[in-house]
Structure 1
Amino acid sequence: MKKIGVLTSGGDSPGMNPAIRAVVRKAIYHNIEVYGIYGGYSGLICGNIKKLELGSVGDIIHRGGTMLHSARCPEFRTKEGQQQGIDQLKAFGIEGLVVIGGDGSYRGAKALTEQGFPCIGVPGTIDNDIPGTDVTIGFDTALNTVIDAIDKIRDTATSHERTFIIEVMGRDAGDIALWSGLAGGAETILIPEENYDMNEIAERLHKGQERGKKHSIIVVAEGVCSAVDFAKQLKEAANLDTRVSVLGHIQRGGSPTVQDRVLASRLGARAVELLIEGKGGRAVGIEKNVLVDYDIVEALNNKRHQLDLELYKLSKELSI
């Protein structure tokens, strides 16, 4: 393989830049030309493709976001759009593609794979919802952003003796809510994977008040409901004075943590190795600190990300 491409797609995540850097430098180390596709699958369709050199990825390892930019691209869900993308790759002589992103990005890579073009998926999403890997690039940084916000909100919750409801991202997965809620000492954590009992929550909050507790933190995953809606439900059930904080896109930004930089570097380099080995239609991941790769089509068709319900159980036991 003499030429490969790399693109980022979907929602950005801290660590995408270190992953791009690893792909570019690993490939050049092995005398392979690398082409950056700017603007995700949309940029692929319109041919926004440029050759990358060593200096192209200098001074980006500490930066959040993605130097290749990203975009949603409904056109790439069609056969016509996918064929346009393949035609552009062939026009530049690109023989393999590294796709860094989440579930939607993987589906684009899967579509190219099914049409015979070798792609390798690299899990870049704060949601931590990709099957086949214990953790995704950006998850750790997002958690640190959320926990910093929770700590600050707890200060004002204590001062005003109120219950704060904090809404976090995660799409249909509850990992951000669970991990940040446990680390932040939240009294209640709501995740899409488990139903909640409003009466039980109200009773627990009232019991806390009876023993002298003056404030509480509730973390709500966006896949459950909005924090505003939950606040209304809680008002009806428990008549509590609450305040709502929706953290939003702040969770996607910021300089990636050491863990995300190292993970991105390892996974990006491994993606290039797979292409060098002549393998396509794979995705890379990490399980028990060991790099793994697996069939991207099979994973998307037959596997689902599993949240650690033991952690959820522990969070309930520690929030009594």
Structure 2
Amino acid sequence: MKRVAVLTSGGDAPGMNAAIRAVVRTSIYRRLEAVGVMKGFEGLIDGEFVPLTRSSVGGIIHRGGTILKTARSERFKTEEGVNRAFFQLKNAGIDGLAIIGGDGSFRGAQKLYEKGFPVIGIPGTIDNDVAGTDETIGFDTAVNTALEAVKKLRDTASSHDRLFIVEVMGREAGFIALEVAVASGAEYLVVPELPFSLGKLCDKLHDTRERGKTHSLIIVAEGAMSASALRAQLQDTAGYDARVTVLGYIQRGGSPTSFDAVLASRMGAFAVESLIEGKHGVMVGTMAHQMALTPLAESWQTKKRLSPEKLELVEKLSI
């Protein structure tokens, strides 16, 4: 192996740049050339390759977003697009490809692997919904960004005796919502993985009022329902007047936390070492704090589940 390429795909996540840096510098350390692919699979199809050096990745470890840019690619979903990408990689003399992204990106990686190209996945998504790793790059930062906002809203809720509903990101998964709910001491959690009971929520809010607590916080995962829809249901059913805050894309930006910067660095370096060792068609991850490899297909075929312990904590500690 002489030349390793790296690309970022799908939604950006804090820590992607740290992973790019680790891939590049580990490649150079192993006397390999490093190449960046601009704009994800779209750039791969068009052959948008740029050489990456030590200085190319200097000072990016704490930058949010991705210096390689990212984009969705409808063309890569076609056989023609995959074939074109495969040709571009071979034509550029690239011997291995590290793909940083979520399960959708890994589906694309699998297509290249099935054609015989050495690929490895690095899980970068704030949603933390990729099986095969305890945490994905960007998840910790997104949680802390959301938590900072929620803590400020708590102050306002307490001052004005308000009921607040906060909607967080996560696609069809409730990992961000669960983590924020536990850390913020939320009274109620709504996630896609659990059936929603409006009656149970109303009972909970009634009990808190009976105990003299005049402010409450509900955390809602975007994949379960919108905060506005929940507000309407509470208003129509029980007359509760709630304030709604949708945190949105702010959760995807900003400098990575130290946890994410370290995680991304470990994953990027391990990905290169694994490629050198001939381990392809896999995704790097951490299991019980140890580096691990998982077949790419498992990242989307296996359903990653919320922690039962943390779900129980929300119930126990919100009484």
* Short-chain TM bin: over 0.9
Q: Secondary structure at the match of 2:280?
A: coil
Shift of 1:318: 0.8
Cα offset for 1:301? Answer: 6.0
- 2:157 corresponds to: 157
**TM superposition shift of 1:53:** 0.6
Does residue 64 in structure 1 map to residue 69 in structure 2? no
Matching of residues 131-210 of structure 1 within 5 Å: 131-210=131-210
Runs of 4+ aligned structure 1 residues displaced above 3 Å come to none
Residue 302 of structure 1: CA displacement? 3.7
Matching residue's letter, 1:175 = F
Task: Kindly report which structure 2 residues correspond to 1:279-290, keeping only aligned pairs within 5 A, or say none.
Answer: 279-290=279-290
The offset of 1:159, in angstroms, is: 1.5
In structure 2, distance between residues paired with 1:59 and 1:302: 37
Post-superposition CA distance 1:191-232 (Å, at most 9, x none): 111012101100110111111111111000011011111111
Which residue is 1:247 aligned to? 247
Unaligned ranges ≥5, structure 2: none
Structure 2 Cα separation of the partners of residues 10 and 180 of structure 1: 24
Corresponding residue for residue 259 of structure 2: 259
Separation in 1 of the partners of 2:166 and 2:8? 29
Q: 1:301 to 1:180 in 2, by over 3 A?
A: closer
2:35 maps to 1:41: no
Alignment of 1:66-145 (within 5 A): 66-145=66-145
Q: Matched residue of 1:196: which SS? A: coil
2:162·2:216 contact (CA, 8 Å) conserved in 1?
yes
- Structure 1 residues 301, 182: closer, same or farther in 2, change over 3 A? closer
Q: Deviations over 1:122-173 (max 9, x none)?
A: 0000000000001100010011101000000111111221111000001111
Calculate percent identity across the aligned residue pairs.
Answer: 54
TM-score (norm. length: structure 1): 0.98
Aligned-partner Cα distance in 2 for 1:242–1:59: 44
Q: Which residue of the partner structure matches residue 316 of structure 1?
A: 315
Amino acid at match of 1:16: M
Is the Cα contact below 8 Å between 2:130 and 2:300 reproduced in 1? no
Task: Give deviations 1:69-121, integer Å, cap 9, x for gaps.
Answer: 10011111111111111111111100110000111111111111111111100
Contact 2:163 2:243 in 1 (8 A): yes
- The TM-score normalised by the length of structure 2 is 0.98
Q: Give, in angstroms, the shift of residue 237 of structure 1.
A: 2.0
| Secondary structure of residue in 1 paired with 2:111 | helix
Distance 1:128 1:300 in 2: 11
Q: Kindly indicate whether the alpha-carbon contact (under 8 Å) linking 2:21 and 2:61 is maintained by their aligned counterparts in 1.
A: yes
Give the unaligned 5+ runs of structure 1.
none
Aligned to 1:24: 24
Question: How far does residue 300 in structure 1 lie from its aligned partner after superposition?
Answer: 4.0
- Aligned CA-pair RMSD: 0.9
Number of equivalences:
319
CA-to-aligned-CA distance 1:269-320 (integer Å, 9 cap, x gap): 00000111122101100011000002113x1464121211221111111111
